[in-house]
Amino acid sequence: MYLHRVARIRLLPDALINLIAAGEVVERPASIVKELVENALDAGARSITVRLEAGGRQLVAVEDDGCGMDPDDALLALERHATSKIATREDLATIATLGFRGEALPSIAAASHLVLETATADGLGTRVEVEFGRILATGPCARPRGTVVTVRDLFARLPARLKFLRTEATELRHAVATVAGLAFTTPAVGFTLEHGPRTLLRLPPAADLAQRLPDLAGALRARQARPVRHASGPVRVTGFLLPPGGGREVVLAVNGRVVRDRALSGAVNRALRGPSGAAEADAYLAVEVPAEDVDVNVHPAKTEVRFADPGRVVAAVMQALAAARPTMHGPVDVRRVVLAPPNAGSGRWLPLEPAAYPAAEPAGAPRVQEAAPAPPPATRWGRYIGQYRDTYLVLEDADALVLIDQHVAHERVLFERLLDRRSRPPVQGLLLPEIVELSPALAALAAAAAPELEALGLELEAASGASVRILGVPAPLPASGAGDLVRHLLADLADAATPGEGVRERAAASLACRAAIKKNRPLARAEAERLLADLAEVADPHRCPHGRPIVLRLPHDEIERRIGRR
């Protein structure tokens, strides 16, 4: 029998309280960006610059031209629950500012090395330096009106938190998405986002969201955008629906605050989904409700809200989307991508051009196969019989019936060829480079992943705004539809959640999946046998890059038992 001694209850020290608060407020560098930019907006800033290094892991700096703080307020701002946003219980019920809890700065300072410089007018300002919750120095500084907060070495003394940060590219993508979301809610404010020497976002002040939309979504998508305008009682919904950009981009704001509301987000995602289950549109939506009908004091990070009547809000948003009637273009059909013909040459890298093959027969057309002059050669998996449902290759060996999924088989072949370090894939240069407009977050991801993508033979370069220019694609992939290939690739990279898997492997798996022949694609015998021969040469012919099985064996004994012969 063990006796457990109950510790006495005691007040926690301020340093530990701040670390606990930091765990709620500061999840990643993007959390710091959000809190500091919101503070700048509440201070009346008209121009905000965000600077990042290593995706924000090494540096986050936010500078604004807002009202600034005097020396006393600068020190008080680093105390928990010190705020200028609310003063009474009534203020809490009708919050009109982005910040109000007074936890952001002390929480960030508890988890990093923070320097605050601020001034209420051009000339003499105040500088405060804090190292993991401890004030190191205070004093005057020369600076223009406004505030700059510089945060370095996030979680450097909190290894348990540091290990949960993701790659530089992932953290950068979250930070860019955060700035883009805040820029959506405040088009009158100019934003600049710099990552090291590169400027990823430069958003000049705009009169309204319609003028800002081209900088956020690209000029082409902005021209195709459909306005959303709907009012239902006190609930007002405005915004835009855009053609899908490849990254499932849905930004929701409630009373000027970008939020994550499960019921609202789920309803929007369902409304934008097409018959195939894929999103048919992206959305930038702003919902306005009376301040007393929404509770923003739900979570320390202020990203969640609670509605007094959630059903009414969700219904208003659904009615707004139904009225907009989105009919956006879906992804390009890539079923034409097939294997190169056997007589295309003996080189390892063969172009996959659909023009080299006859068009697929219409669905339901009779399939006539010419008699072979000689018995077909056996493959590694046995004798090729034919194709089942234009999706599976059927073979037989001495002991079993064998089914091979043609899509995942081709996917594995392309994947290993793209990653073959013995011979870098040759690049198909595009006669006319293709410009692809991306969301700011995907453009940042493209810039960060460019070296790994170039190693695969995919050549990209930054264009204006959030656009990239495609100069070439790997030779095993089709040059046609390069833009859609890149959009889907970046969306797959953005959604990847496996920490141990490298960018290059994920990119190769995405490219292979998009370019591989699809189900319901008739294959001539020569094409099928060529695919089987290629599959026999790969290192792992049994599973696709995503883990799906390629080969299914049905033993003859099992078939006979099931059919009643045994």
pLDDT tens digits, one per residue of 159-207: 878 888 888 888 998 999 999 999 999 999 999 999 998 888 999 999 9
Which pLDDT band holds residue 503 (cuts at 50, 70, 90)? confident
Last residue of a domain, one of 156, 175, 205: 205
Which pLDDT band holds residue 361 (cuts at 50, 70, 90)? very low
Query: Which secondary-structure segment (H or E) carries 286?
Result: strand 282-288
Token pair recorded at residue 5? 């001694």
Q: Has residue 55 been placed in a domain?
A: yes
Last residue of a domain, one of 179, 205, 231: 205
Specify burial of residue 508 (Cβ count, 10 A radius: 0-12, 13-18, 19+): buried
The mean per-residue pLDDT over the stretch 142-150 comes to 97
Task: Look at the chain and report how many structural domains it folds into.
Answer: 3
CATH of the domain at 264: 3.30.230.10
Q: Based on the fold, state whether residues 198 and 242 are members of the same structural domain.
A: no
Which pLDDT band holds residue 265 (cuts at 50, 70, 90)? confident
Which pLDDT band holds residue 354 (cuts at 50, 70, 90)? very low
Q: Based on the fold, state whether residues 122 and 25 are members of the same structural domain.
A: yes
Q: What is the pLDDT of residue 372?
A: 45
Q: What is the pLDDT of residue 332?
A: 29
Identity of residue 524: A
Cα-Cα-Cα-Cα torsion 330, 335, 336, 337, nearest 10 degrees, comes to: 110
Q: Find the helix packing angle between 168-185 and 209-217, rounded to 10°.
A: 160
Which among 509, 514, 479 is positioned nearest to 493, based on CA atoms? 509
Specify burial of residue 37 (Cβ count, 10 A radius: 0-12, 13-18, 19+): buried
Q: What are 518-536's pLDDT values in tens digits?
A: 899 999 999 999 999 999 9
pLDDT at 385 exceeding the cut of 60: yes
Is residue 394 within 8 Å of residue 401, measured between CB atoms? yes
Q: Has residue 367 been placed in a domain?
A: no
Q: What are 36-47's pLDDT values in tens digits?
A: 999 999 999 999
Q: Based on the fold, state whether residues 223 and 153 are members of the same structural domain.
A: no
pLDDT at 379 exceeding the cut of 90: no
Which pLDDT band holds residue 492 (cuts at 50, 70, 90)? confident
Q: What is the pLDDT of residue 82?
A: 62
Q: Tell me the range of 99-103, 197-201, 283-287 where mean pLDDT is highest.
A: 283-287
Which among 223, 257, 258 is positioned nearest to 242, based on CA atoms? 223
Q: Based on the fold, state whether residues 116 and 39 are members of the same structural domain.
A: yes
Q: What is the pLDDT of residue 305?
A: 84
As a whole number of angstroms, the distance between CA 42 and CA 38 comes to 6
Task: Please give the mean pLDDT across all residues of the chain.
Answer: 81
Q: Has residue 220 been placed in a domain?
A: yes
- Coil, strand, or helix at residue 106? helix
Q: What is the DSSP letter of 171?
A: H
The mean per-residue pLDDT over the stretch 302-320 comes to 88
Q: Has residue 368 been placed in a domain?
A: no
Token pair recorded at residue 349? 């890298």
Q: Based on the fold, state whether residues 474 and 402 are members of the same structural domain.
A: yes
Which among 302, 314, 354, 254 is positioned nearest to 104, based on CA atoms? 302
pLDDT at 115 exceeding the cut of 50: yes
Identity of residue 290: P
Question: Dihedrals φ, ψ of 123, to 5°?
Answer: 125, -115
- Coil, strand, or helix at residue 160? helix
pLDDT at 558 exceeding the cut of 60: yes
Instruction: Give the residues across from 242 on adjacent strands.
Output: 282
Q: Mean pLDDT check: name the lowest of 188-197, 242-251, 385-394.
A: 242-251
Which pLDDT band holds residue 49 (cuts at 50, 70, 90)? very high
Last residue of a domain, one of 137, 170, 205: 205
Query: Which secondary-structure segment (H or E) carries 226?
Result: strand 226-232
Q: Based on the fold, state whether residues 221 and 197 are members of the same structural domain.
A: no
As a whole number of angstroms, the distance between CA 106 and CA 41 comes to 18
Global pTM value: 0.71
Q: Mean pLDDT check: name the lowest of 97-106, 234-243, 554-563.
A: 97-106
First-last CA distance in the chain: 61
Give the residue, 61 or 359, on which the prediction is more confident: 61
Q: Mean pLDDT check: name the lowest of 97-101, 142-146, 324-328, 353-357.
A: 353-357
Q: What is the pLDDT of residue 338?
A: 25
Is residue 10 within 8 Å of residue 151, measured between CB atoms? no
As a whole number of angstroms, the distance between CA 330 and CA 490 comes to 17
Which among 413, 420, 393 is positioned nearest to 340, based on CA atoms? 413
Which pLDDT band holds residue 335 (cuts at 50, 70, 90)? very low
As a whole number of angstroms, the distance between CA 127 and CA 118 comes to 7
As a whole number of angstroms, the distance between CA 517 and CA 407 comes to 5
- Looking at 361-484, which runs of residues are DSSP E strands? 383-388, 392-396, 400-405, 427-437, 459-462, 467-474
Q: What is the pLDDT of residue 341?
A: 30
Q: Based on the fold, state whether residues 76 and 225 are members of the same structural domain.
A: no
Q: Based on the fold, state whether residues 259 and 352 are members of the same structural domain.
A: no
Q: Has residue 299 been placed in a domain?
A: no
Which pLDDT band holds residue 363 (cuts at 50, 70, 90)? very low
Q: What is the pLDDT of residue 90?
A: 60
Token pair recorded at residue 524? 């001539």
Token pair recorded at residue 120? 């209420």
Q: What is the pLDDT of residue 398?
A: 87
For 381, residues 6+ apart whose C-beta sits below 8 A from its C-beta are 395, 397, 402, 404, 532, 551
Is residue 26 within 8 Å of residue 108, measured between CB atoms? yes
Q: Based on the fold, state whether residues 127 and 273 are members of the same structural domain.
A: no
Q: Based on the fold, state whether residues 83 and 230 are members of the same structural domain.
A: no
Q: What is the pLDDT of residue 148?
A: 97
Q: Has residue 140 been placed in a domain?
A: yes
- Coil, strand, or helix at residue 412? helix
Which among 261, 265, 260 is positioned nearest to 279, based on CA atoms? 265
- Coil, strand, or helix at residue 61? strand
Q: Based on the fold, state whether residues 48 and 124 are members of the same structural domain.
A: yes
Interior CA angle at 253 toward 25 and 183, to 5°? 80
pLDDT at 329 exceeding the cut of 50: no
Which sign does the torsion angle of CA 345, 351, 356, 357 carry? positive
Token pair recorded at residue 87? 């003063």
Which residue range is the domain that position 288 belongs to? 212-292+308-324
CATH of the domain at 398: 3.30.1540.20
Q: What is the pLDDT of residue 231?
A: 94
Is residue 254 within 8 Å of residue 261, measured between CB atoms? yes
Q: Based on the fold, state whether residues 190 and 272 are members of the same structural domain.
A: no
